[in-house]
Amino acid sequence: MKSKEMRNLIEVSHFVYNCRKCGLCGNKTSGTVPYVCPVKEHTEGFEHFFSRGKIIIAQGMLEGEITPSPELAEIIYACSLCGNCQTQCAMIDNHTGLPLVDPPQVVEAMRADLLREHPEWIDQEYLAMLNSAKQYDNPWGMPRTNKEKWMKGLSLRDAKKEPSEVLLFIGCTIPSNPVVSPLAQKAATILKLAKVDFAVLGKNEPCCASVLKKVGSFDLAQEMMQKNIDSFNALGISSIVTLCSGCYHTLKKDYKKSYPPLIPNVYHIVELLASLIKKGKFNLCKKKPLKVTYHDPCHLGRHMGIFDPPRDVLAALPGVEMVERIATRENTICCGAGGGLRLFEEGRLAERIGEASLQMAIDIGAEALVTACPFCEINLNAGAKRLDFPFPVYDIIDLVEEGLSTT
């Protein structure tokens, strides 16, 4: 590819040249790191499936030694952008503490260049998702009205008409999938009981563009983000609370970096729940005992450092006993659904990865796995179908709402 056709990769080429090719990102194991790369672990494990191989490909492209092809494009999409390779990589700037190699950024940049220059090489599933985002303002091909169905009977405020402190941002994934769709109503019920001054956007809620950026549609994502920033800033809200780790990561990181930046503060619901519980804003009653472990979503935990609030919420739930599995906090293992991986191989690789996450919960004797992201919940439930026995997966919102409903 010519230089101008690799403009995104060139922008992150310092990450490529800082890599020492040591291979820790594929081979490290320890008591808390069962494996690093979920894609390497759950495929044939070839070099190109993990970070070092992808960085070698990037260097080959930059130096003109590797000519991109449809096969190479497929390899670049075999990555969940979970970031564990970056966490386990020893290449850190001693002065700033920042990583010197950022493999997810390199992968995203290669996707952006390949998608722009050779859309004909990209799997139809990704292209359909991008078309849906343009046509319906959500990646999942659902009619806009699906975003307001869950609001029926709740008498919620419309953020466009009634000034409120908080915008409850549901995201596109929750209304699109019956496994997670009850979360919107449950979250709103909790916030109403806690007397939070909030509103929603219903069918006018836009796609945050998280998935679009992650699969490489940088230009479309940028266009949508800029439009959303203008409309969020005009709402007069002081904060946005998201239910999805992907939305949270994008709104908090990418929107805040844009110009003009997003003005409202961005929180994930686990942060708000932890704070409401601490302030005694609602009572939680005793439930039948349940031993759970927590799956840190990559885009909430490792990428954004939100580790304690979900654990504080679980600790406050009467009857819930929380045990830590291996691969926890920054060493968490991807659920398999990140970076568009559920569209890869028709979801088979993602489900194998999800099953492995569940197995770690089963191994420590947990009776359920709890997470805080609809992508994780959907994929872990899909992974659970591969087991020989039922194993429940909950969102933390499910457990809080359950505690409330019987008070």
Using alpha carbons only, how large is the chain's radius of gyration in Å? Answer: 21
Alpha carbon of residue 199 to chain centroid: 23
Among 8, 35, 51, 108, binds ligand SF4 (CB under 6 A): 51
- Which two three-digit tokens encode residue 165? 């402190």
Is residue 14 within the footprint of ligand SF4 (CB under 6 A)? no
User: With contacts defined by CB under 6 A, how many residues of the chain interact with ligand SF4?
Assistant: 28
The least CB distance from residue 268 to ligand SF4, in Å, is 21
Amino acid at site 159: A
In the numeric block, the tokens 């494990």 are attached to 45
**Among the listed residues 3, 14, 22, 134, the single contact to ligand SF4 using CB under 6 A:** 22
Residue 183: how many CB atoms within 10 A of its CB? 26
Touching ligand SF4, residues 318-377 (CB under 6 A)? 334
Stretch that binds ligand SF4, among 15-23, 130-138, 273-281, 397-405 (CB under 6 A): 15-23
Minimum CB distance to ligand SF4 smaller for 28 or for 147 = 28
Q: Report if residue 39 touches ligand SF4, rule: CB under 6 A.
A: yes
Per-residue H/E/C for 279-320: CCCCCCCCCCCEEEEECCCCCCCCCCCCCHHHHHHHHHCCCE
CB of 9 to ligand SF4, least distance (A): 16
- Considering only 82, 244, 270, 350, the residue that binds ligand SF4 (CB under 6 A) is 82
Taking alpha carbons only, the member of 289, 287, 292, 290 closest to residue 366 is 292
- Closer Cβ to ligand SF4, 98 or 120, answer by number: 98
Half-sphere exposure of 233 (CA within 13 A, CB side): 14
* Alpha carbons 102 and 120: distance in angstroms, whole number: 27
Q: Closest separation between CB of residue 339 and ligand SF4, Å?
A: 7
- Asked if 370 and 296 touch (Cβ cutoff 8 Å), the reply is no
* Cβ at position 335, least distance to ligand SF4 in Å: 12
Among 12, 79, 106, 382, binds ligand SF4 (CB under 6 A): 79
Instruction: Out of 14, 21, 278, 385, point to the residue binding ligand SF4 (CB under 6 A).
Output: 21
103 binds ligand SF4 (CB under 6 A): yes
What b/e sequence results for 261-287 when a residue is b if at least 16 CB atoms lie within 10 Å of its CB, and e otherwise? ebbbebbbbbbbbbebbeeebbebeee
Burial of 233 (C-beta count, 10 Å sphere; 0-12/13-18/19+): middle
In the list 1, 5, 13, 24, the residue contacting ligand SF4 (rule: CB under 6 A) is 24
Closest distance of CB 104 from ligand SF4, Å:
5
Q: Of 134, 140, 212, 132, whose CA–CA distance to 178 is shortest?
A: 140
Within 10 angstroms of residue 97's Cβ, the number of other Cβ atoms is 7
299 or 311: CB nearest ligand SF4: 299
Q: Which is nearer to ligand SF4, 25 or 262 (CB)?
A: 25
311, 322 Cβ separation under 8 angstroms: yes
Among 9, 12, 58, 101, the residue binding ligand SF4 under the rule CB under 6 A is 101
State the nearest-atom distance from the C-beta of 349 to ligand SF4, in Å. 10
Nearer to ligand SF4, 20 or 195 (CB): 20
Closest approach of ligand SF4 to the CB of residue 87, in Å:
9
Largest pairwise CA distance in the chain? 66
What tokens does 390 get?
Answer: 């039922």
Cβ closest to ligand SF4, residue 86 vs residue 217: 86
C-alpha span between 88 and 101 (Å, rounded): 11
Question: By C-beta, is 284 or 343 nearer to ligand SF4?
Answer: 343
Residue numbers of the site for ligand SF4 (CB under 6 A)?
A: 19-25, 36-39, 50-52, 55, 79-85, 89, 91, 101, 103-104, 334
